[in-house]
Structure 1
Amino acid sequence: MDAKLSELLNHQINEELYSAYLYLTFADYYEDRGLKGFANWYMVQVQEEVAHAKILRRYLLDNDVSVKMTAIAEPDKTFSTDLEPLEAGLAHEKHITACIDRCYAAANDVHDFRAMQMLDWFVKEQGEEETNASDMIKNMKLFGSDPKGLYDLDREYQTRVFVAPTMPM
């Protein structure tokens, strides 16, 4: 595998694990606020991000590339409103999309079609992640200022469960 591409994929593992770490802080914020549904939504998100890291790890190992685990940065976000974690989540998902795009571009540059096929799944996944994050912001803006609306949103987010991702390979 091309050295630049393997470096980017190794870095992406760290990005995914940082995402999990960041989303744990979001879950903690909502837990402290008594919004267990929002906390649940982000705990499921934590599981998804770890699963993404594991997919990338497996891909590297299956291609005889050493995995390099690096330190995960400490999240530095603090929040004063229930909307702020959601907005930070969308901004972060856009950052992750840009990271995936860099990996894809590197794979394309060296005609690594297997890597591109694997990354196609991540490209689609990031579209879903950004839509979900955007929808949560819209819902909070529409319903979150009303106690009953916030309660209903929280109840809705309590129903989310983790489903392990499956990738066509």
Structure 2
Amino acid sequence: MAINTTLGDALNEQINKEIYSAYLYLTFADYYEDRGLKGFANWYMIQVEEELSHAKILRRYLLDNDYQVKMLAIAQPDKTFNNDMDPLQAALEHEQYVTASINDCYAIANEQHDFRTMQLLDWFVKEQGEEETNASDMIKNMELFGGDPKGLFELDREYQTRVFTAPTMPM
């Protein structure tokens, strides 16, 4: 079964959104690096790797299903930050945006009765739930501990321990 053009185009746009996410998270890492918060910078550098891996998964899926992948222009991130909380809040907002986009792709797949693509997107739906939880937890941690220099130091040290683990797809 060939992928419907509407769905294929939506997945192509999702690739673009995942690459934009990586680009955006690089700006977050740069902000924290400039602030001397290498753990927070590390957290977002891991996010960069995750977002790129998501784009690669979608790209491979389209290629494996004989759908032409189109590399679209990547928008320039336009976020500016006034404090250490700003990137964390921007990350949650962005993850909610990506979740809505994945849900839109899922709705199109469902409408087309493309169960194979729905199975792929099931993984992304679960992943987005984890992404939103992580972003929300980081905000809560900053609210609780970030106002105290020692608490901020401990959070930064905790985030330095995060390592990238390539996702495994259930396919």
Instruction: Give the TM-score category using the shorter length.
Output: over 0.9
Q: Distance in 2 between matches of 1:110 and 1:55?
A: 21
Aligned residue in 1 for 2:69: 67
| TM-score computed with the length of structure 2 as normaliser | 0.99
Equivalent AA in structure 1 for residue 153 of structure 2: Y
Aligned residue in 2 for 1:159: 161
Match of 1:43, SS state, is: helix
Provide the alpha-carbon RMSD of the alignment: 0.2
Q: Distance in 1 between matches of 2:144 and 2:129?
A: 22
Structure 2: segments with no counterpart, 5+ residues: none
1:20 Cα deviation from its structure 2 partner: 0.1
Aligned residue in 2 for 1:100: 102
1:159 Cα deviation from its structure 2 partner: 0.2
1:166 Cα deviation from its structure 2 partner: 0.4
Render the CA deviation track for 1:46-80: whole Å, top value 9, x for unaligned.
00000000000000000000000011000000101
Aligned residue in 2 for 1:3: 5
Aligned residue in 2 for 1:38: 40
Q: Distance in 1 between matches of 2:29 and 2:147?
A: 20
Q: Distance in 2 between matches of 1:68 and 1:84?
A: 33
Aligned residue in 2 for 1:136: 138
Match of 1:39, SS state, is: helix
Match of 2:25, SS state, is: helix
1:112 Cα deviation from its structure 2 partner: 0.1
Equivalent AA in structure 2 for residue 131 of structure 1: T
Which of 85, 88, 91 lines up with 1:89 in the alignment? 91
Q: Distance in 2 between matches of 1:45 and 1:134?
A: 15
Percent identical residues: 76
Q: Distance in 2 between matches of 1:149 and 1:80?
A: 20
Q: Distance in 1 between matches of 2:56 and 2:169?
A: 12
Aligned residue in 2 for 1:53: 55
Equivalent AA in structure 2 for residue 56 of structure 1: L
Q: Distance in 1 between matches of 2:153 and 2:168?
A: 32
Q: Distance in 2 between matches of 1:129 and 1:21?
A: 16
Render the CA deviation track for 1:90-136: whole Å, top value 9, x for unaligned.
00000000000000000000100000000000000000000000000
Q: Distance in 2 between matches of 1:162 and 1:91?
A: 22
Q: Distance in 1 between matches of 2:31 and 2:80?
A: 9
List structure 1 runs of 4+ shifted beyond 4 angstroms.
Answer: none
User: Is 1:21 matched with 2:9?
Assistant: no
Equivalent AA in structure 2 for residue 19 of structure 1: S
Aligned residue in 2 for 1:150: 152
1:138 Cα deviation from its structure 2 partner: 0.1
